[in-house]
Amino acid sequence: MTIAFALGAFVITVVVALATLVITRQILLNQREDGALRVAISNAQIVSNGLSDESDPDALAPLVAGLNTTGGARALLNFEDTWHASNAVEFGETDLPEVLLTDVVEMGQAARMRSNLRGEPVLLIAIPIPNSNANYFESVPLDEIQSTLRTLSTILAVSVIGSTIFAAALGYWASRQALRPLRVVTSATEAIAEGQFDTRLEPPADRDLAILVTRFNSMAAGLEERIERDARFASEVSHELRSPLMTLTASIEVLENSRDELTPRAATALDLLSSDIDRFRGLVEDLLEISRFDAGQASLQLSSFNAAEFLDQIVAHDSPETAVDLEADSNQIIVTADKRRMARIMSNLLANARTYAGGATSVQLGHTPDDETFWVAVEDAGPGVDPTERSVIFERFSRGSGGGSRASETGMGLGLAMVTEDAALHGGSVEVQDRTDGKPGARFVVTLPVRDIGEGEYH
């Protein structure tokens, strides 16, 4: 809209300015020519009255010099093949164009024309005096008109620029006012997309917009209610499942204690049942944790610790065969974070590498030069992650294109989602990249801020 206003104003003002300049130029020139022609005719009449067959050619010079010319005009008289000028240096017979001489001398017709005399614009007027075999000429300078037109052009150019700038500012203001409701709605939708489901719009004064705002608020309220209902449902189901799950776990332990009395077939069934109960218990625990995230009840219990030492402990417990690589000075990084959630982040990344890539090949720790953030990377030698799936795999219950090609161990699609939630709760992020050495595999990088211990508990 700003560009449209500016372009429209520019086109209109340019057209008006050109029209004004052309019309003004024509008016000034016509006025100047009419006035000069009247004076020239009057002077030609004076010269005609002063001429006779017995006139002394030497006496004509004072007559021509005494003529009343205005605006710096110069007179020139041709009488019986002799030339008499009021100022021969500025205007003489050699300055007359051939076409003007032809019209006046040969055809005996009065004429006028615009020309340039020594680089200056002039109006040349030629008047024949047939009774005396003479021709009268005047050179009327037009430089004052040219100067006036140049000044007018400058004023019009400044007006065009000023009008364009004013129109652009007006268009910017108008577009801001016109699009303000759209910006408010956009901000509200972004807030809802970020999880602020209680976002609502203030009713505007405009009745048409009020209808839109009312419907938007109703939609947001319905969305909030549904999400809260789904979160409560997941939380309540997870809680209800814990009791039978504990009973099943206790029953499995009883059966495990009597394994020697079971037949081989029953023992195999017990192993399968025990494995599924473990997966079921992990799923219920993850669902309970996710329900806390959705309900906004997840919080951080912060403490300061050495990141390198903490990482060594986690890797030694979950994946002892994996090497830990530290960047320069990384062993001195003291971070403030929730150790339980940090441990879960690393455990889930190592479990993901073990499930889909045969295990992690290395775990790396580094920090930014300003020491405001640190990062942990888990690399594997698996098939890697297709670029089209690098954001999808962090969604809940997403297992990527490899979900249907797994062997005996399968994931539930919640591990990377939990990593994303825990990292976001710390104010960080997680992403998957190609390996830095160019070899096949994936590289999961978690970036987290280095906080001060005084920041307390985070929600």
pLDDT at 46: 84
Q: 310 and 288 in one domain? A: no
Q: 307 and 426 in one domain? A: yes
User: Of residues 212 and 151, which shows the higher confidence score?
Assistant: 151
Q: CATH number for the domain including 249?
A: 1.10.287.130
Q: CATH number for the domain including 104?
A: 3.30.450.20
Query: To the nearest whole percent, how much of the chain has pLDDT over 90?
Result: 12
pLDDT at 124: 87
pLDDT at 240: 72
Q: What is the dihedral of CA 359, 344, 335, 421, to 10 degrees?
A: 110
pLDDT at 408: 44
Q: What sign for the dihedral angle of Cα 139, 143, 146, 148?
A: negative
Q: Which of 294, 325, 349 is the last residue of a domain?
A: 294
Determine, yes or no, domain membership for 189.
no
For residue range 90-109, list pLDDT tens digits in order.
Answer: 888 888 888 877 777 667 77
pLDDT at 445: 94
pLDDT at 235: 66
For residue range 204-217, list pLDDT tens digits in order.
Answer: 777 777 787 888 88
Question: Using 50, 70 and 90 to split pLDDT, how confident is the model at 457?
Answer: very low
pLDDT at 405: 43
Q: 320 and 262 in one domain? A: no
Question: Using 50, 70 and 90 to split pLDDT, how confident is the model at 453?
Answer: very low
What is 129-161 written as a DSSP string?
A: EGGGTEEEEEEEE-HHHHHHHHHHHHHHHHHHH
Q: What is the DSSP letter of 403?
A: G
Q: 213 and 334 in one domain? A: no
Determine, yes or no, domain membership for 283.
yes
pLDDT at 57: 62
Determine, yes or no, domain membership for 309.
yes
User: What domain range includes position 116?
Assistant: 2-149
87 class by beta-carbon count within 10 Å (0-12 exposed, 13-18 middle, 19+ buried): middle
pLDDT at 290: 75
For residue range 389-431, list pLDDT tens digits in order.
Answer: 888 888 877 766 655 444 445 567 788 888 998 999 899 999 9
Question: Using 50, 70 and 90 to split pLDDT, how confident is the model at 284?
Answer: confident
Query: To the nearest whole percent, how much of the chain has pLDDT over 70?
Result: 89
Give the number of domains in the chain. 3
Tell me how many helices (H) and strands (E) the chain has.
9, 12
Determine, yes or no, domain membership for 267.
yes
Mean pLDDT (the chain, rounded) = 81
Measure the N-to-C terminal CA separation of the chain; round to a whole number of Å: 43
Cα angle vertex 344, ends 340, 346, to 5°? Answer: 120
Q: Which of 276, 294, 312 is the last residue of a domain?
A: 294
Determine, yes or no, domain membership for 163.
no
Q: What sign for the dihedral angle of Cα 158, 161, 164, 168?
A: negative
Q: 141 and 32 in one domain? A: yes
Q: 276 and 356 in one domain? A: no
For residue range 73-91, list pLDDT tens digits in order.
Answer: 888 888 877 888 888 778 8
For residue range 155-204, list pLDDT tens digits in order.
Answer: 888 888 888 888 888 877 877 776 677 777 788 888 887 777 778 888 77
Q: 45 and 128 in one domain? A: yes
Q: 23 and 143 in one domain? A: yes
Q: 215 and 134 in one domain? A: no
Q: How far apart are CA 311 and CA 326, in angstroms?
A: 10
pLDDT at 1: 61
Q: 228 and 353 in one domain? A: no
Q: CATH number for the domain including 368?
A: 3.30.565.10
pLDDT at 143: 81
Determine, yes or no, domain membership for 186.
no
pLDDT at 342: 92
pLDDT at 234 over 70: no
Q: 81 and 47 in one domain? A: yes
**38 SS3 class:** helix
Question: Using 50, 70 and 90 to split pLDDT, how confident is the model at 345?
Answer: very high
Give the lowest-confidence range in 112-116, 362-366, 421-425, 442-446: 112-116
What average pLDDT does this structure show over 357-375? 88
Neighbouring residues of 256: CB distance < 8 A, sequence distance ≥ 6: 270, 274
The structure's pTM equals: 0.52
pLDDT at 153: 87
What average pLDDT does this structure show over 220-249? 75
